[in-house]
Structure 1
Amino acid sequence: MAGGGAGVADLCGPRLLSQAVRLSPDDLKAALTREARALGFDQIGVTDPGATAQAGKYFLEFLDSGGHGDMDWLAANPERRADPRVLWPGVRSIIMLGVNYGPDANPLESLKRRSSGTISAYAQGDDYHDVIKKRLKTLARWLAAISGDEVKVFVDTAAVMEKPLAQAAGIGWQGKHTNLVSREFGSWLFLGAIFSASDLPRDSSDTDHCGSCTACQDICPTAAFPAPFKLDARRCISYLTIENKGPIPREFRKAIGNRIYGCDDCLAVCPWNKFAQEGREAKLAARDALRAPALVDLARLDDAAFRALFSKSPVKRIGRDRFVRNVLIAIGNSGDADLADEARRLLDDTSPLVRGAAVWALSQLIERDAFAALALQADGEQDSTVQQEWQAAAS
């Protein structure tokens, strides 16, 4: 799961041009495809702005169910997300583009290293928003110059339903885990969109190829899929470790294991990954320091060290306190008694969010009598949420 907002990345139009070269719609689309490939996009497809009406209906039902949790940005201006023509009445074609970020190792393997943290594959390199946005802007300016028509660019930063639009454009289909699946790249595609005032030839929509497979639903540690093609984000580890700003609910802590930012389980288990390819963009490749970082090192990060380690990474946006909260949940699940000292030290952290997670982690790693003695010393805790953690852990 990536962040949300409501901004337009770029706007280009004929006012930028002294002359526009007019091509036929077919020739324009062919030239656009060549240009996109030259810029490093692995997939491209074109769809009609009205192609996702049914998906818009499902989206509104999702909001009504409360499945979006605290992601208020999803519920802001829902009519815009449900229908691209509300977002921009001038749009006549939507160009969907994909960049492959296939990992060079199975993301499920790092879950076995309980004293290390697991960061979602998409977040182990540079922030894809920044990498892809530059390419989209370049392609959009080219299209505006050739067509003479206005364009707008979006990379997961506005009210756009990228996955239904990508399916309508033939790039892949939304699997039972609600994520996009590609027959060529499996689960590993970053998406971007260009809205254009040009009327371009449409591609055929992709269709569901999941069949009777339920691997993505079966593997979910927190049972976040109440039914095929439906997600309750409030139970999703990606939501809990990224979007959730408060303490992680106790009922999910054990299931989180050592996942400290996001979760790839439902993506990695998909059988279509047998066709996946390793990504070719160096900036999106995993940094060695983020492949399976030691929990002991991560627990010692102050704000400056956190920012330095996650420079240009999407992890940086959740801040040091939420990240160390996640690290402490992983420490509590590690079974490594040597990590108890890290949890004990963080009982005095300046952040109540961190202190509360440290209480739980310590309760999982030391003997009950020793923990009860610490709990007696915690009467001076001022934060009510942290007090509740002590009480719940000691009971």
Structure 2
Amino acid sequence: MGLDREALRARLHGFGFDVVRFAAVAGDAPGSDALDDWLEAGRHADMAWIERGAAKRRDPRQVLDGARTMIMLGVNYGGDLPSRDDGQSTGVWARYALNNDYHDTVKPGLVAAGRAIESWAGVTSRDYRYYVDTGPVLERSWATRAGVGFTGKNAMLISREFGNWLFLAAIMTRVEIAPDAPVSARVEAEPVGTLCGNCTRCLDACPTNALPEPGVLDARRCISYQTIENKGIIPRELRTGIGDRIYGCDICAEVCPWNRFAQTARSGLLEARPELAQFSLSEILRLTPEGFAVGFKGTAVKRLKLRGLLRNACIVAANTGARECGPALVDLTRHAEAMVRAHAVWALRVLQTDAPWASLRAMEVDPLVLAEYDAPLEPRSAQA
């Protein structure tokens, strides 16, 4: 008598996972060809770690010899977003960021899942590996194969039950488990955008044109990449398109019609931090290292570091016309980090605020910052 797959599924659901699905590991990983094309086109920007791990992403057996099953797990993070109504200017955070770091909070569920697999199948910890967006796994493609959802034209995994709002985790194991079917035969044959129909809302909505074709993301133009992964200067031509997005971006997900089925997240593997949305731009621009460490403790924002958050806040202040941030921006033109100074200068010029331009420029020696003083720039009124 074979192992009871549904008993394992129920057990894993009990650890806080909203979706538990199984896919067979055989041949190259789904999405391998698309990965090769994406890397060859340079659309991964400077995320060299993706290229370094490409061979393992193509073949999970290079990670776990003898792997036979990929267990795909989803954690719903949907629900209403907090807002601030006191008139102070704020930035918009990616929905996932308004929680403690999911890499940390989902891990205990994976640890428990691993132990459950050991007892269920009579194996040891050497017979599986687990990851939550941290390993060489093509999670979205495996989730499509397992029937968690389908890959939309926005290059996101879209669930018919949870819309665009799923954290994905994966467990690869040597245990053979009967696979689940994709959401439809069409998805298996044509994995990108199959159930999007003629809808192009995500492609049309992206303000920086980061989706050059259905299902293909150009990270070099993506607001999420620029505001999180990019550790340096954000290209001048992309800054206006960032709008009010201070950390990450959900625009291509927010406009998706499949979100009409989205559900409010349960709290099992999440630790909500709605207070982050209450930071005004002025407060962020005046954060000290100590204030940043306390205010963003345990969140994914900590990995951005204070200098990255200040950079992003400068751009949002300019784009939203937050002239009340002028004094804080002037102070940041004297910041120790040239990257921060450069974006503060740009923001002040866009806002057309009064500033001691001659004395500020006379103090500057870094060429990146001097370039911001000297670059041709349309005022915000003209940009709008």
TM-score (norm 1): 0.88
Shift of 1:24: 1.6
* Distance (Å, rounded) in 2 between the aligned partners of 1:334 and 1:317: 25
Contact 2:152 2:196 in 1 (8 A): yes
Gaps of 5+ in 2: 188-193, 379-384
In structure 1, the residue corresponding to 2:45 is in which secondary structure?
coil
Give the deviation of 1:46 after TM superposition: 0.5
* Helix, strand or coil at the partner of 2:333: helix
Q: Indicate the SS of the match to 1:99.
A: strand
Is the CA contact (8 Å cut-off) linking 2:158 and 2:258 kept in structure 1? yes
- Tell me the SS of whatever aligns to 1:260: strand
Whether 2:114 is the aligned partner of 1:140: answer yes
Answering whether residue 243 of structure 2 is matched by residue 265 of structure 1, we say no
Cα distance between partner residues in 2 of 1:272 and 1:51: 31
Runs of 4+ in 1 over 6 A off after TM superposition: none
Alpha-carbon spacing, 1:394–1:54, altered in 2? closer, same or farther (3 Å): closer
Query: Cα deviations across residues 374-393 of structure 1 (Å, max 9, x unaligned)?
Result: 04641331211111111115
Aligned match of 2:190: none
1:13-40 CA-partner distances (Å, limit 9, x unpaired): xxxxxxxxxx723x1x111111011111
Aligned-residue identity in percent: 40
Structure 2 residue 66 is matched with structure 1 residue 83: no
Q: By how many angstroms is 1:148 displaced? A: 2.1
Q: 2:318 maps to what in 1?
A: 332
Q: Which of residues 96, 100, 104 is equivalent to 1:122?
A: 96
Distance (Å, rounded) in 2 between the aligned partners of 1:75 and 1:134? 29
Change in Cα spacing, 1:331 to 1:239, as seen in structure 2 (3 Å) is same
Deviations 1:168-210 (A, max 9, x none): 1110011001110000000100111111111110001232311
- 1:120, 1:264 within 8 Å by CA — same for their partners in 2? yes
Instruction: Map residues 1-395 of structure 1 onto 2, 5 A cutoff.
Output: 24-25=2-3, 27=4, 29-50=5-26, 53-105=29-81, 115-149=89-123, 150-206=127-183, 207=187, 208-281=194-267, 284=270, 286-366=272-352, 370=354, 374-375=357-358, 377-392=360-375
Partner of 1:11: none
Taking the aligned partners of 2:362 and 2:377, their CA distance within structure 1 comes to: 13
Paired with 2:264 and 2:358, the residues of 1 have a C-alpha distance of 49
Higher mean Cα deviation, 320-329 or 337-346? 337-346
Tell me the alpha carbon deviations over residues 311-330 of structure 1, each in whole angstroms, 9 at most, x when there is no partner: 11001001000111000111
Moved more, 378-387 or 243-252: 378-387
RMSD between aligned alpha carbons? 2.0
Q: Which residue identity is paired with 1:386?
A: V
Distance in 2 (CA, whole Å) between partners of 1:322 and 1:356 is 12
| 1:187 partner amino acid | N
**SS of the residue 1:348 aligns to:** coil
Over 3 Å counting, the alpha-carbon distance change for 1:53 and 1:92 in structure 2 is closer
Q: How far off is 1:259 after superposition?
A: 0.8
| Letter paired with 1:381 | E
Contact 2:98 2:272 in 1 (8 A): yes
Q: What is the SS of the residue equivalent to 1:228?
A: coil
User: What one-letter code is carried by the residue in structure 2 that aligns with 1:342?
Assistant: A
- CA shift, 1:114, in A, is 8.2
Q: Is the 8 A contact 1:60 1:82 kept in 2?
A: no
Distance across 1 between alignment mates of 2:260 and 2:335: 45
SS in 2 for 1:238: helix
Amino acid at match of 1:270: C
Report how many residues are paired: 365
Q: Secondary structure at the match of 1:89?
A: coil
Q: Are 2:24 and 2:178, in contact at CA under 8 Å, matched by a contact in 1?
A: no
Deviations 1:249-291 (Å, cap 9, x if unpaired)? 0001111111110001111111011010010116636423212
Letter aligned with residue 324 of structure 1: L
Q: Which amino acid aligns with 2:94?
A: S
Structure 1 residues 115, 265: closer, same or farther in 2, change over 3 A? same
Quote the Cα distance in structure 2 between the aligned partners of 1:283 and 1:33.
17
SS at match of 1:45: strand
Letter in 1 for 2:7: A
SS in 2 for 1:104: coil
TM-score (structure 2 length as normaliser): 0.90
- 1:124 CA displacement: 0.5
Measured against aligned partners, the alpha-carbon deviations of 1:287-341 in whole angstroms (never above 9, x if no partner) come to 2321252100011111111111111100100100011100011111121322111
State whether residues 241 and 262 of structure 1, in contact with CA within 8 Å, keep that contact through their aligned partners in structure 2: yes
- Inter-partner Cα distance in structure 1 for 2:289 and 2:117: 42
Q: Which runs of 5+ in 1 are unaligned?
A: 1-22
Change (3 A) 1:340 1:283: farther
Q: 1: distance between equivalents of 2:80 and 2:360?
A: 48
